[in-house]
Structure 1
């Protein structure tokens, strides 16, 4: 692990060097510590890896500040051969602005051409952003675009705020692997309404007035040039006719031509005949050396997931994994992505049919669990490998080792939450929950259910959030975990009034054997968290629940008053009312109107109907079970309105936040404005003036991820890192003859500046290098001190 940590520290967040990362000056994402809270919309979430995360309402949301230069480019690849005309046409379409689609079959070179144009074409007036949509939903893509455009710390805006922040930005957004549904593409483009989108994918369905560019195979002459380059030699006289036949059979597909050249260059003397095109993969696999075979088997085990070379080297023992992957790329067997490599189309089934393709999934899972749990592994790194983590979790469960799946899921969940890639977080929670159920691990089941409840709450899926948090509260109570039960109860209070229980639910102090059984609404949701766009329900059913709270800010919700002693089941239909104003903290006592457990319990999502309660009582179930039965019934009815709410959100009709209880000065005038007006907002990042012991100093941004401050002695201290934490070295001086502390430098201390939970608090940590401990004392400089922003 130490070697891997050193490699990650040298190469960046994904194990690649600066050149491979396209020369990007800063990395997008939340890196570093996972100790602080994150803000999602109006919610403040303190992530707890053991007892479940705690939620409060954020009255003053962060004020992001526009980056001076928006430039997130793709990794550098070889210039596409013979695509000059296509590149010129695509560049002209981008210059005309609007929406551009680049489509074509697998292996034809869409990604290569898109990366080439993204790096070479003029960017939009405000910059350029390159993202990959492979296995990602719109919310995660939009968050990545937002972080590319703004300096922010642990903040995921609500959809309404996000659109306001991104309106007026004339950037060019290149989206690779954009095989999304039409509704998803419309949602994404609507969130950045003034951007020029260039989408590369297989689908050619036009969107509105967007231009569609079909990428065909290479011409005959270019195909011959590609074969020559791949072979590293001129074609023999007898091979010219074979090259023409291969070009015709392959349709000029560059991937198939590369494989044909690979077969010829891996032991054969001549190009394979056209009839062998269908057998190119088995022929290539037979000729691979041991290092290439191990790397390819590993990638095939992960299916369609991308893996950084640092992990390929660690898992295969290969000292030069980048060189091996480059060779496999030249053979048309793997494809470079933004964070590493993945199998090329058609390779996975071909490899899996071979006897030597199996990789021990237990070792694979333990490796990723250690890596994810390593404090040196950042949330951004985990998010970049979320698909690989999902695949490993599924394989481990299928192999009959669900306890390993649970360990991986619990290690990955906190960092995915801090990465603000909430869809990737949800899929990992789902796999962890399935593993927990199969392993019979009730504590892990409670944890994954709780975290998915919190995730659903902060992303606006309120109906299912109510069911999940209620079930998590039951499980925590059965387990005797008071902190988990309190966290579930407190989070549940931020649901709309329609989803609040009208009275207090008393949980039996000694639960029965069936207590905590999972309702269908919870099991069905947790078992499949791919979050596909729901089918639109009938328009005739839209008006019931949706109108009650659509567009309402959670801080304006009212909590029901404490009704006193628990009422009979028939009285569970009492109307809610009262005031809202309780702050949620882990381990706090249950608020009025919440579950009373003797410890702390959980509330449900809605009131049970009298009929449901009576039926449950007839079956001898507990009061809590009756409540959950009613919850499932009401949740099913409310899901129609929930789907309507989500459909409107997917089409871009996001309601404007009312601002009740959480006014933001910087938000006024954003939506619909020609350009964002928030750059004059108070500073929220590392740059600014800070006070320590009544002395103030100023940190200035000197570049992307680089900062500088000057001491009273005139020393310039360089700091580097990201938006949340920077570090550097500060000189230690002796006192001069006059008693001032600006004497000669006697050494250097390591310094770290870490942003706190809010924009106006930070920590300054100064430590002395171990090798200097015998040469000097710390001089009173070492330790951690709280800083306060004063400008």
Structure 2
């Protein structure tokens, strides 16, 4: 039916069992794939007596200053906002009403961009915010409920955008200019009354007309309503006296003179007051043959608003005046059946379009609230099933979630387990889209249990497939799904860190291996001596008490050079025949001797690195006949510790040709320089 790409998942709405989750090749769509929408500018509505106000708005908007207008219903806020939005600047107009922030952002994206994809693409909230902020439009928010934080959150989220807000009470919170919008000035109000009356006002009626306009406080909606009543034959003086007592009496007076079709159309709009719906939507709910003609007549009477050619709605301020009078004129159950047929045609594209379905879905949500208030739970379940399909296809997923929750509550109230299983299955998809996999699994298991108990084979199979996608078997990768774009950078970062750590470990291992057998001759570090070490009473070498490097032993406190406590002598690790460096006196010097080098494997022993050994002889000499130093790789010599030569057997052995001199720890001096 309908499929939506979200993250690396494809979510498909099946006919009756719910949505199917499956992996898509898409990992993350580039927002650049959405092109700016080029739609013709909307015609500016008739605006009388607001020249100074509109000039001030244009100045503030040009300066990048957000602005809000607050005032009572019917004062002309929507007309003013639409006139400013039609100035030619790129703008996006959204009626907030009860919509959540995520859906408002989605509506702004739909207003500003058109997708080039064959399938619908749902972007996360952060991506939608970047798309809107990149366009830098004038964001026009109408019908903002009292206490709503949406303007404040949008102002913080979209720093590059200017907001123009209309609400009954201030909601912008000091982040912009706030203006109280009152009624029209007297002369423009009289002009509007004359235009709506359709004829000039005689001089004799002017005083009564002025009293009437003052009674309705020069508010444009009530001015048009009063003119319609005067056109219908009601004396202006009588209208002025009625309005002076209570302006809402004019609403009841207007509703009392309606035809049958007009009354039914007004009842339908009263059920969803504050919502704009298409004319054929009203026809489907009210079973009205020529609903559009009736709606136009209601608009001319000042009872409904008509901001667009085929969008009608009852102003919220008229809701209490009319709703109680006319609710019995329409059967809610019959209206639900008509809506089901109308929306099914819209979703399948047989008669209407998805755009019209989305225009009417707000009214369906309103009817769902009415059904819940009345306790008509079966009607509520039917309305939830109707609305959720359009909200899913239209990417209004926060309202989709709210509708599903209301449907689930209605199903539990009357024990409709099949409907409860469907709503639980759908709410699992919502939870997965919101990156709450644990909730998704719990809801899917609940839906699966219900469907298996009911014998719903097709539904259970679909739920089981979604459960396997959300919670795959151990050892397999999860479906990732919609949360993948938000976690992709984390995974790449973790992978890069792991690779970097592996490289560091390899480098450290190589360096450690090289440091155990450094090339080239030269004096060894303290602790490298493996031969006899003696310390004189007046002079001790650093090797007598120093700590050796890894793999070499040194004679520390309580420790012999071989590393065995109390051992009188031992060969150091890796010893081999080689020169010994003896030291004495305050000014050691080197005597000419063959320079020890590291040799390649050969048939005879050769000197290796020298070691430092304290000696009583003056000067420093290198003698090839004294104690061994580090081993060389020689196949003919078996060093005290195993060398890296394939011909040398492991273990501690003494060289058959060269015997290291043995010394007792603590002796005063050795045998001399050799």
Q: What's the TM-score, normalizing by structure 1?
A: 0.55
SS at match of 2:46: coil
8 Å contact from structure 1 (residues 55, 487) kept in 2: no
Does residue 433 of structure 1 match 2:408?
Answer: yes
In the aligned structure 1, how far is the partner of 2:42 from the partner of 2:401?
28
In the aligned structure 2, how far is the partner of 1:323 from the partner of 1:271?
30
Residue 130 of structure 1: aligned partner: 93
In the aligned structure 2, how far is the partner of 1:180 from the partner of 1:42?
38
8 Å contact from structure 2 (residues 41, 88) kept in 1: no
- How far the C-alpha of 1:486 sits from its partner, in A, is 5.2
- How far the C-alpha of 1:323 sits from its partner, in A, is 3.6
In the aligned structure 2, how far is the partner of 1:187 from the partner of 1:41?
25
SS at match of 2:236: coil
In the aligned structure 2, how far is the partner of 1:196 from the partner of 1:493?
46
SS at match of 1:177: strand
Does residue 139 of structure 1 match 2:102?
Answer: yes
* Gap change, CA 1:388 and 1:156, over 3 Å in 2: same
Q: 1:150 aligns with which of 82, 106, 113?
A: 113
In the aligned structure 2, how far is the partner of 1:336 from the partner of 1:307?
10
Q: 1:353 aligns with which of 307, 324, 341?
A: 324
Q: 2:227 aligns with which of 232, 250, 261?
A: 261
Q: 2:489 aligns with which of 659, 667, 689?
A: 659
8 Å contact from structure 1 (residues 390, 431) kept in 2: no
SS at match of 2:139: strand
Residue 30 of structure 2: aligned partner: 63
Does residue 281 of structure 1 match 2:251?
Answer: yes
Root mean square deviation of aligned Cα? 3.3
In the aligned structure 1, how far is the partner of 2:390 from the partner of 2:464?
23
Residue 93 of structure 1: aligned partner: 60
Residue 304 of structure 2: aligned partner: 334
- How far the C-alpha of 1:320 sits from its partner, in A, is 4.8
8 Å contact from structure 2 (residues 23, 479) kept in 1: no
Does residue 233 of structure 1 match 2:203?
Answer: no
- How far the C-alpha of 1:156 sits from its partner, in A, is 1.4
- How far the C-alpha of 1:137 sits from its partner, in A, is 1.4
In the aligned structure 2, how far is the partner of 1:265 from the partner of 1:237?
17
Residue 190 of structure 2: aligned partner: 224
8 Å contact from structure 1 (residues 300, 348) kept in 2: yes
Does residue 387 of structure 1 match 2:359?
Answer: no
In the aligned structure 1, how far is the partner of 2:135 from the partner of 2:327?
51
1:354-369 to structure 2, matched below 5 A, reads: 354=325, 357-369=328-340
8 Å contact from structure 1 (residues 383, 416) kept in 2: yes
In the aligned structure 2, how far is the partner of 1:281 from the partner of 1:344?
11
Which digits, 9 at most, give the CA deviation of each residue in 1:452-490, with x for residues without a partner? Answer: 221132134566545433422332332244554454455
In the aligned structure 2, how far is the partner of 1:356 from the partner of 1:364?
12
8 Å contact from structure 2 (residues 271, 327) kept in 1: no
In the aligned structure 2, how far is the partner of 1:223 from the partner of 1:150?
39
In the aligned structure 2, how far is the partner of 1:41 from the partner of 1:456?
14
Does residue 105 of structure 1 match 2:80?
Answer: no
Residue 46 of structure 2: aligned partner: 79
SS at match of 1:353: helix
Structure 2: state its 5+ residue gaps. 494-674
* Gap change, CA 1:482 and 1:353, over 3 Å in 2: closer
8 Å contact from structure 1 (residues 72, 128) kept in 2: no
8 Å contact from structure 2 (residues 37, 114) kept in 1: no
- How far the C-alpha of 1:47 sits from its partner, in A, is 1.9
Which digits, 9 at most, give the CA deviation of each residue in 1:182-225, with x for residues without a partner? Answer: 53223333443312221222222434431223211111222222
Q: 1:445 aligns with which of 420, 425, 428?
A: 420
Residue 342 of structure 2: aligned partner: 371
8 Å contact from structure 2 (residues 281, 339) kept in 1: no
SS at match of 2:489: coil
Structure 1: state its 5+ residue gaps. 1-33, 501-558, 562-577, 585-654, 664-791
* Gap change, CA 1:188 and 1:49, over 3 Å in 2: farther
- How far the C-alpha of 1:235 sits from its partner, in A, is 2.4
- How far the C-alpha of 1:393 sits from its partner, in A, is 3.5
* Gap change, CA 1:105 and 1:42, over 3 Å in 2: farther
In the aligned structure 2, how far is the partner of 1:580 from the partner of 1:443?
32
Does residue 478 of structure 1 match 2:453?
Answer: yes
Which digits, 9 at most, give the CA deviation of each residue in 1:677-700, with x for residues without a partner? Answer: xxxxxxxxxxxxxxxxxxxxxxxx
SS at match of 1:194: coil
- How far the C-alpha of 1:89 sits from its partner, in A, is 1.6
SS at match of 1:108: coil
Does residue 169 of structure 1 match 2:135?
Answer: yes
Which digits, 9 at most, give the CA deviation of each residue in 1:142-199, with x for residues without a partner? Answer: 1122233333341111123333333432222222213364532233334433122212
In the aligned structure 1, how far is the partner of 2:340 from the partner of 2:38?
33
1:459-474 to structure 2, matched below 5 A, reads: 459-460=434-435, 464-474=439-449
1:732-751 to structure 2, matched below 5 A, reads: none
* Gap change, CA 1:131 and 1:321, over 3 Å in 2: same
Q: Which has the higher helix share?
A: 2
8 Å contact from structure 1 (residues 173, 196) kept in 2: yes
In the aligned structure 1, how far is the partner of 2:457 from the partner of 2:283?
44
In the aligned structure 1, how far is the partner of 2:204 from the partner of 2:300?
24
Residue 243 of structure 1: aligned partner: 209
8 Å contact from structure 1 (residues 133, 175) kept in 2: yes
Farther-moved stretch of structure 1 (372-381 vs 214-223):
372-381
- How far the C-alpha of 1:364 sits from its partner, in A, is 0.5
8 Å contact from structure 1 (residues 49, 410) kept in 2: no
Q: 1:292 aligns with which of 246, 258, 262?
A: 262
8 Å contact from structure 2 (residues 133, 159) kept in 1: yes
* Gap change, CA 1:273 and 1:379, over 3 Å in 2: closer
In the aligned structure 1, how far is the partner of 2:467 from the partner of 2:269?
42
Indicate the structure (1 or 2) with the bigger Cα radius of gyration.
2
* Gap change, CA 1:661 and 1:492, over 3 Å in 2: farther
In the aligned structure 2, how far is the partner of 1:156 from the partner of 1:583?
16
Q: 1:305 aligns with which of 275, 279, 285?
A: 275
Q: What's the TM-score, normalizing by structure 2?
A: 0.64
In the aligned structure 2, how far is the partner of 1:147 from the partner of 1:308?
19
In the aligned structure 2, how far is the partner of 1:662 from the partner of 1:250?
65
In the aligned structure 2, how far is the partner of 1:44 from the partner of 1:217?
51
Residue 9 of structure 1: aligned partner: none
Does residue 183 of structure 1 match 2:118?
Answer: no
Which digits, 9 at most, give the CA deviation of each residue in 1:530-556, with x for residues without a partner? Answer: xxxxxxxxxxxxxxxxxxxxxxxxxxx
Which digits, 9 at most, give the CA deviation of each residue in 1:237-271, with x for residues without a partner? Answer: 34322233333333221222222222222122324
Residue 552 of structure 2: aligned partner: none
* Gap change, CA 1:217 and 1:477, over 3 Å in 2: same
* Gap change, CA 1:335 and 1:219, over 3 Å in 2: same
* Gap change, CA 1:388 and 1:42, over 3 Å in 2: same
- How far the C-alpha of 1:118 sits from its partner, in A, is 0.9
In the aligned structure 2, how far is the partner of 1:186 from the partner of 1:391?
26
8 Å contact from structure 1 (residues 135, 387) kept in 2: no
- How far the C-alpha of 1:309 sits from its partner, in A, is 1.1
* Gap change, CA 1:487 and 1:145, over 3 Å in 2: same
Does residue 409 of structure 1 match 2:384?
Answer: yes
* Gap change, CA 1:94 and 1:41, over 3 Å in 2: farther
SS at match of 2:135: coil
8 Å contact from structure 2 (residues 275, 362) kept in 1: yes
8 Å contact from structure 1 (residues 65, 151) kept in 2: no
8 Å contact from structure 1 (residues 73, 130) kept in 2: no
